[in-house]
Chains A and B, each alone.
Chain A
Amino acid sequence: MPYHDTVTDMKQGISYCILVSILIMGTLLFSGCTEQSAPETTETIKIGVVASMSGPASTTGKDIWQSAELAANEINADGGVLVKELNKKIPITLVQGDDESTREGGIKAVSKLITQDNVDLLVGGYSSAVVSAHQSIVADNKVPYIISGGSSTAVSHRDDIDTSYMFFHRPNTDDSAKASVIFINEVVRPEIYKKFNLPEDRPLRVALIFQDSPFGKGQQEAVLHLIKEMDLPIEIVAEETFKMGESDFRTTLTSVKSKKPDLIYAVTFLNELIPLTQQAKRDVGMNTLILSIENNDDPDYYTGVGEYGDYTLMESRFSPYAIPKGSTSEMTKQFLDNFKQKYGGFAGMMGAATYESIYIATKAIEEAGTTEKGAVQKTLSDLTTDHMMEVMKDGKITFSPDYHESSFDLYVEQMKIDPAVGEIRPSIVWPESIKEKGFEIPDWYQPGST
């Protein structure tokens, strides 16, 4: 063999070795990405946490996981969950199921949690599209699943699979749309009409921008249905869709601007709402109000949107910065403090719901006296417990007999720049019972076509 061929072969061999080494190092380095809290004893209650730890919804996924971890640590610090059939307290072990923000990832994660990790119970789930894809696996395996996301009624009201083991600890799209629409009609419309002296027979012009997903379409259908059913003086002047994960809304907003709306109703995820709001104000020059919904109430929204979020509105059920008065406020403050101490930041709404879900799960196991899935499912069906951080109807967490949905008291916040922190901060402006401030129309606001 000629010398230069040998040298070339050697060089190639070295390069291959380096490449293989990098791949192995990469694998070893990142195998810790899904690190789970190890069981300290052989007896443990395994709770699978379905969260988008990677992909477009990873910010929310991290919030879900950290909040679940916080709840589990608190429970374990207290000795664990009392299981009567064993006559002792058993610690919780959380097992992470990364749905990768995709339907396929969700199927893979939930299958693994159920069949390989043998979890006793599942909590979490965010996107309706992702949750709907793995529901059938949960139905087939009959594992109790407390879902804190998946707000579309297409997820919780489906009749093609057995949803009896699924419990939805979140308002559905009908509930959040109803709160938003009532707020628009009872608060926004009168204020705008008074300020701009608009005729009462003129309907309020609302533009809908929604994600092309079960979540977005669920909200769209609910809004349209409510306006019709309640015969509200609201006209939907634009209905624009966008793909999940979209970050360029300039043309969509140009189209919306041409329809001259009085208000934009945005059904988005966090990573979509930030550019949508910024582009509406900065690039398209829209001087209108934007109302978004609860899943965006996350510290990253307040940081990311900057000054463009001034005067925006958000329907919510849990906020890192606005705590409703009443019996839930102490626990909320405690949760936020503990979260900040452990993770150095603020928890978002999905985190709060997951934290509560872990406590709901342990309460059900305690009341059932066993981790046997059928018994836990039955206990969850009949469970009534005091609300914790999110304000529930009648102050109780209980799942409806028909679709296993819990019922929330929702509110609307308005954002204002806080010069002290250089970011927007929310104040509750509706309903009357818990409002901190009145709804304000900014000076730069211009109503749509008169």
Chain B
Amino acid sequence: MDGNFEIIAQVLFWGIYSGCIYILLATGLNLIFGVMKIVNFAHGEFLMLGTYITFFLFIMSGFNPYVLLCASIPLLVVIGIIVERLCFRPILGTGKLNEIFVSIGLIYIIQNLVARIWTDEWKTIQSPYRDITLDLGVIYVPLDYLIIMAVTAILLIGLYLFLHKTWIGTAIRATSQDRAGAMLMGINVERMDMITFGIGAALAGAAGTLWAVSGQVFNPYMGSIPAIKAFAIIILGGLGSIPGAIIGGLAVGLVENGAAYTLGGAWKDAVSFILLIIVLIIRPTGLFGEDEE
């Protein structure tokens, strides 16, 4: 019984870890969708860029990879702003098909650029804390995963405070709720789009850094599957809802790992979509979605 409890606790722990990566990725995607109402299939490429920027800075500086978040997040904000300004702003409001094709084009461009710069071979980096394990009473867990969970929580709290306690955050929320109304109130909605896209890309980039630090391999093509799952999560949680992305991300992480344990790893991807279908049948707007979405 004790042994079983330990295993269940361990599987739940891995589920929460996976959930943290999904939460950051999906929150960024949902923030962008909430404000700009665009569908960016290239969102997974920001995660991939986060892994490579961390890798590059780690190799160049030898700094602690967690500290490198301070560099990778601003860099991803800048990249996000450039992408929004050059690729999405010109087509905003011209139809979903344009957004889809621009984002698909971006996938190939970013993947090939990264492959050109860093080659397409699989890469890994190692955390300086990789050999430290902590006793949580029920299970032993590597310190890195606790740091990853703490960093995710800090980033989400930071995002909450930014959105609720700053003027720009209030303006972003206003733009998300009523774009025309926000414009009439003097808010520069295009600037809000740009800032939001930058923050969304940075959250995905942070997920990439945490992905790399946890010792997972990465190459230029690794962003597509997480991006598809992030879409499933935001539909599951409710389009445009940040609490929905958090709950959805955690749910997908837990369900995937539960399925890997009970049904086998081959079922991991399928169950997230089974969960999505079940939620949509019961609640078509997703867990936290509003009717008009």
Contact = CB atoms under 8 A, between A and B. Distances in A.
Do the two chains bind?
yes
A285 interface: yes
B187 interface: no
B215 A270 contact: no
Interface string B102-136: 10010011001101100011111010001101000
B219 interface: yes
Contact of B266 (A54, A241, A255, A283): A241
A245 B225 CA distance: 10
A57 to B, nearest CB: 10
Contacts of B225: 245
Contact of A258 (B7, B15, B87): B7
Contacts of A270: 122
Interface string A288-322: 00000000000010001010000000000000000
Interface residues of A, number: 46
B263 to A, nearest CB: 10
Given A30-B112, A243-B268, A255-B260, A304 B3 contact: no
B176 to A, nearest CB: 23
Contacts of A251: 11, 14-15, 257, 260-261, 265
Contacts of A161: none
Interface in A138-176: none
Contact of B120 (A58, A212, A306): A58
A12 B269 CA distance: 40
B68 to A, nearest CB: 19
Interface stretch (A13-21, A226-234, A324-332): A13-21
Contact of B265 (A22, A243, A285): A243
A251 B11 CA distance: 6
Nearest to A279: B215
A328 B18 CA distance: 47
Contacts of A284: 10
A254 B133 contact: no
Contacts of B123: 304
A33 B113 CA distance: 11
Contacts of A241: 264-266
B140 interface: yes
Contacts of A282: 130-131, 142, 215
Interface string A380-422: 0000000000000000000000000000000000000000000
B116 A29 contact: yes
A252 interface: yes
A359 interface: no
Interface residues of B, number: 49
A59 B219 CA distance: 10
B89 interface: yes
Nearest to B215: A278
Contacts of B7: 254-255, 258
B216 interface: yes
B89 A242 contact: no
B284 to A, nearest CB: 29
Contacts of B221: 54-56, 58
Nearest to A242: B265
B265 A246 contact: yes
A275 B215 contact: yes
Nearest to A247: B216
Interface string B205-237: 000000000011111011001000000000000
Contact of B122 (A15, A212, A283, A300): A300
B70 interface: no
B90 interface: yes
A30 B116 contact: yes
A258 B218 CA distance: 28
Nearest to B262: A255
A434 interface: no
Interface string B245-266: 0000000000001001100111
Contact of B124 (A30, A62, A304): A304
B90 A16 contact: yes
Contacts of A304: 122-124, 217
Interface of B: 3, 7, 10-11, 14-15, 17-18, 85-87, 89-90, 102, 105, 108-109, 112-113, 115-116, 120-124, 126, 130-131, 133, 140, 142, 145, 215-219, 221-222, 225, 257, 260-261, 264-266, 268-269
21 contacts: A12-B90, A26-B109, A30-B112, A33-B112, A55-B221, A58-B121, A62-B121, A240-B265, A243-B268, A247-B218, A248-B216, A250-B14, A250-B257, A251-B14, A251-B257, A254-B10, A271-B217, A271-B219, A278-B215, A282-B215, A304-B123
